[in-house]
A = this chain, B = another copy of it.
Amino acid sequence: MTIADQVVFGADGLVAAIAQQHDTGEVLMLAWMNRAAIDETLRTNQVCYWSRSRERLWRKGEQSGQTQRLVALRLDCDRDAVLLLVEQAGVACHTGRRSCFYLQADGAELHEIAQPTVSREQLYGGA
């Protein structure tokens, strides 16, 4: 029995996965994994998700170089959520911010609490 065999996936075959920087505790992003993504992540120690928009495996950093090295993989009490402790290379967010969670509720408005530290051109190449 593998680890993936012990995960309770949703009807869509996916499970929510939180990526957290292992030493600082910063929550970097939330994405989705299927069975193959979990298997590959544990085999290679490089985090691989399932991209719902592209409908394919998404090796984090494959385009941008902003990879996530796996430090530990945890399941919750119901085994239907994953916590990935990672070493994040550079930034996690496609906007160039360290964390994807940069929109904070302030009354009825969302305020940006972090700015990009890397440009999209640096991440994905210029036009």
Residues of A in contact with B (beta carbons under 8 Å apart): 1-3, 6, 16, 18, 20, 24-27, 29-30, 42, 72-79, 81, 83, 93-95, 97, 100-105, 108, 110, 113
Contacts and interface: CB of A to CB of B under 8 A. Distances in A.
Contact of A100 (B76, B93, B108, B113): B76
A81 to B, nearest CB: 4
Contacts of A104: 72-74
B29 A26 contact: no
A18 B30 contact: yes
Contacts of A42: 105
A1 B73 CA distance: 38
A103 B81 contact: no
Given A30-B76, A93-B77, A105 B18 contact: no
Max chain B CB contacts within 10 Å: which of A24, A76, A110? A76
Contact of A3 (B25, B76, B97, B108): B108
Contacts of A6: 110
Contacts of A103: 74-77, 79
